């Protein structure tokens, strides 16, 4: 089988799996609805209880799972390719930690209680601020190392400010709310969240998708890529702002969800012949699969306990990552 | 003229590494860039490619380099870097085909012309035998050949190579030198930095000897490689001879204490 047809098969299988998981996500939940009833309710004009549950609770949840997962997978693959480092993940450039801080400020100040959209908006604003700081620290000809270091510095600062907010929290309920929000979840989101995140995610996806050719060339290092006609300033701009836009929006609506952006590109890399441009769409689909599956699992495992999505991805993701490291340690050495 | 450089200056940090370099490259030349460690050979190549900021005039054929886009420059000259970086376990053939990227618009697939160029480059560097293997699993010498094949696939009038022979066995060193000489014979030109004076003496059509960021000698190997220049620039004594119609240079020992040690 040729290289290209194998790649087509991988993408097809991932797309089919994504579609199945999306449908499952729509039909699994505490309200015991039949599969055909719930799907029919999505397309009906009636305004009964089933229609309300499907349109206002399940659909936004499944859509956000799809969008957030694709964002994390795609930006993880793009950042690993851009930084030529298999340990890169979407949070590396400081976007996740800053978006969390923005959300925490909204909860802490009480703004989120007065005006619900204040939380995602504040998170997005903080993500934008963080990426502007990282980009200006790194400069136009910034090396990838400067970007990583600037990202680490911004992340640490945002983490410290978040801790400060928890530390000074006026009452335990605010602290609990902050903690729960930071664990990452897709519960109780509405279509408003979908519409808020979608434009930023689309812009981010578009920018990251334009990186394909450049990421392939970057396999040979910055200088060789530049000698092959790749404009490194453009690549840096697209990678940093594309990740910031998509991941900032994802964190703003779902909180910080770890490991998906790190593990998914690793799992899929061998299946696409390690080619960075091919890893982008595969990893986007893979990320969507993983997040949808995890979000279905939290509903199945502990329907009453409101298990947080971010907790599950970390619990499953970390041992899996250990196993990956164990399997590839000889190649990494 | 393929390349014309006038009074090129560049600094790394606060240190001025290139102090006004001027030379030009005509079609059909195989130029060896020689000089001690830290003389500025790699910096010169990187400045020519616009990878580091520099002052002075660089003209690519009829084009003025500062106004040339990255892709246009990539159609004019290819570069083999000193570091043999391969980040991912991609197949050899895919890696070589990366050299075609400046020739391909947007998201276009490889054309028949591209495939033919990739095939030629792989055969020339004798890497077509392991085209399916992951490039990260190759030996150092095999990697070097794959990366040179990548640059050959770019099919540019000018090829710049930074220490391309390092890590190659004698047979592949000579194969590479022969290949560069063949490229020069077909009116393309090669500028390669070299540490092996014997290879430089035997295969290059012209040598540029660089020391302290300046060109201290420029001309045919026999004129540049003299006992006097090797003593003053490298601080070594060498054996000079002639064999099979070519110059033989073999450094023997450091210049004695009474000499002008650097």
Q: What is the pLDDT of residues A321-332, one digit of tens each?
A: 888 778 777 655
The burial class, CB within 10 Å (0-12 / 13-18 / 19+), for B71 is middle
35-94 in chain A: CB under 8 A from chain B: 84
User: How close is the nearest chain B Cα to the Cα of A214, in Å?
Assistant: 9
Say which CATH number the domain at B99 has: 3.40.50.300
Of the listed ranges A143-147, A247-251, B7-11, B74-78, the one predicted with least confidence: A143-147
Distances, alpha carbon B56 to alpha carbons B4, B6, B8, in Å: 11, 6, 4
**Each residue's pLDDT tens digit, A279-288:** 999 999 999 9
Query: Which residues of A are less than 8 Å from B87 in CB distance?
Result: 84, 218-221
Average pLDDT over residues B127-143: 91
Per-residue pLDDT at A283: 97
Mind giving me the DSSP string for A230-282?
A: --HHHHHHHHHHHHHHHHHHHHHHH----SHHHHHHHHHGGGGTT-HHHHHHH
Mind giving me the DSSP string for B162-219?
A: ESTTTT--HHHHHHHHHHHHHHHHTT-EEEEE-S-HHHHHHH-SEEEEEETTEEEEEE
CA distance A291 to A100: 19
A120-124, B55-59, B187-191, B238-242: range with highest mean pLDDT:
B187-191
Give the total number of structural domains in chain B.
Answer: 1
Per-residue pLDDT at A214: 93
* Long-range Cβ contact pairs of B237-243 (< 8 A, separation 24 or more): B238/B197
Identify whether B26 is part of a domain: yes
Question: Sorting pLDDT into bands at 50, 70 and 90, what band is A140?
Answer: low
Give the structural domain span for B181: 3-254
Mean pLDDT of chain A: 88
B134 touches chain A (CB under 8 A): yes
Q: Where are the domains of chain A?
A: 3-332
Average pLDDT over residues A116-145: 83
Per-residue pLDDT at A314: 87
Question: Between B4 and A144, where is the model more confident?
Answer: B4
B85–A269: do the CB atoms touch at under 8 Å? no
- Tell me, rounded to whole angstroms, the distance of Cα A17 from its chain centroid: 18
Per-residue pLDDT at B182: 92
pLDDT above 90 for B204: yes
Average pLDDT over residues A149-169: 90
Identify whether B261 is part of a domain: no
Identify whether B124 is part of a domain: yes
Query: Which residues of A are less than 8 Å from B148 in CB distance?
Result: none
A150-154, A169-173, A286-290, B258-262: range with highest mean pLDDT:
A286-290
Q: Per residue, what are the HEC states of A86-135?
A: CCCCHHHHCHHHHHHHHHHHHHHCCHHHHCCCHHHHHHHHHHHHHHHHHH
pLDDT above 60 for B260: no
CATH of domain A3-332: 1.10.3470.10
Pick from A223, A227, A273: CB nearest B94: A273
Query: Which residues of A are less than 8 Å from B90 in CB distance?
Result: 219, 273-275
Per-residue pLDDT at A42: 78
137-196 in chain B: CB under 8 A from chain A: 147, 150, 154
Identify whether B52 is part of a domain: yes
Per-residue pLDDT at A118: 86
- Beta strand extents in chain B (DSSP E only): 3-12, 15-25, 30-34, 55-60, 63-64, 77-80, 158-162, 189-193, 206-211, 214-219, 236-243, 246-254
Identify whether B128 is part of a domain: yes
What DSSP designation does A317 have?
Answer: H
197-226 in chain A: CB under 8 A from chain B: 212-213, 216-221, 223-224, 226
User: How close is the nearest chain B Cα to the Cα of A210, in Å?
Assistant: 9
């Amino acid at each position: 089988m040729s290289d290209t047809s194998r790649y087509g098969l991988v993408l097809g299988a991932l797309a089919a799996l994504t579609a199945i998981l999306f449908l499952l996500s729509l039909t699994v939940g505490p309200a015991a609805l039949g599969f055909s009833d719930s799907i029919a309710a999505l397309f009906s004009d009636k305004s009964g209880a089933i229609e309300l549950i499907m349109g206002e609770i399940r659909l936004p949840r499944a859509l956000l799972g799809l969008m957030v997962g694709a964002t994390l997978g795609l930006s993880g693959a793009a950042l690993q390719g851009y930084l030529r480092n298999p340990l890169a993940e979407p949070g590396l450039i400081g976007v996740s930690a800053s978006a969390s801080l923005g959300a925490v400020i909204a909860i802490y100040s009480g703004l989120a209680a007065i005006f619900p959209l204040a939380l995602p908006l504040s998170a997005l604003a903080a993500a934008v601020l963080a990426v502007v700081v990282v980009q200006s620290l790194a400069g136009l000809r910034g090396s990838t190392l400067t970007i990583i270091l600037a990202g680490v510095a911004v992340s640490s600062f945002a983490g410290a400010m978040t801790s400060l907010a928890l530390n000074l929290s006026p009452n335990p309920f605010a602290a609990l709310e902050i903690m729960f929000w930071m664990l990452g979840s897709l519960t109780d989101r509405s279509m408003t969240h979908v519409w808020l995140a979608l434009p930023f995610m689309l812009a981010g996806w578009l920018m990251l998708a334009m990186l394909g050719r450049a990421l392939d060339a970057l396999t040979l290092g910055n200088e060789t890529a530049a000698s092959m006609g790749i404009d490194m300033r453009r690549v840096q701009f697209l990678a940093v702002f594309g990740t910031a836009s998509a991941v900032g929006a994802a964190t703003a609506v779902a909180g910080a969800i770890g490991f998906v952006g790190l593990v998914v590109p690793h799992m899929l890399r061998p299946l696409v012949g390690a080619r960075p441009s091919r890893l982008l769409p595969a990893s986007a689909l893979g990320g969507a699969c993983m997040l949808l599956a995890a979000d279905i699992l939290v509903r199945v495992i502990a329907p009453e306990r409101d298990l947080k999505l971010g907790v599950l991805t970390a619990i499953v993701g970390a041992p899996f990552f250990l196993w990956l490291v164990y399997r590839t340690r000889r190649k990494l050495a | 003229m393929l390349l014309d450089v006038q009074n090129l200056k560049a600094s790394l940090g606060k240190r001025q590494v290139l102090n006004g370099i001027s030379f030009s490259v005509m079609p059909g030349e195989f130029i060896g860039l020689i000089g001690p460690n830290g003389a500025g050979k790699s910096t010169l190549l990187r400045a020519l490619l616009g990878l580091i900021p520099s002052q002075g005039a660089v003209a690519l054929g009829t084009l003025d380099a500062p106004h040339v886009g990255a892709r246009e420059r990539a159609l004019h000259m290819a570069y083999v870097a000193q570091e043999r970086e391969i980040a991912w376990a991609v197949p050899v053939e895919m890696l070589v085909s990366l050299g075609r990227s400046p020739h391909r618009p947007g998201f276009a697939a490889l054309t028949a012309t591209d495939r033919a160029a990739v095939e030629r480059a792989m055969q020339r560097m004798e890497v077509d035998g392991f085209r399916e293997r992951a490039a990260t699993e190759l030996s150092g010498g095999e990697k070097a050949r794959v990366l040179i094949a990548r640059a050959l696939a770019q099919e540019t009038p000018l090829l710049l190579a930074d220490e391309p022979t390092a890590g190659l066995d004698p047979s592949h060193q000579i194969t590479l030198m022969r290949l560069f000489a063949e490229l020069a014979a077909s009116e393309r030109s090669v500028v390669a930095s070299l540490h092996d004076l014997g290879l430089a003496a035997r295969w290059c059509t012209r040598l540029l000897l660089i020391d302290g960021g300046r060109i201290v000698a420029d001309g045919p190997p026999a004129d540049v490689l003299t006992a006097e220049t090797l003593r003053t620039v490298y601080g070594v004594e060498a054996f000079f001879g002639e064999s099979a119609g070519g110059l033989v240079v073999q450094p023997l020992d450091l210049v004695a204490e009474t000499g002008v040690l650097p």
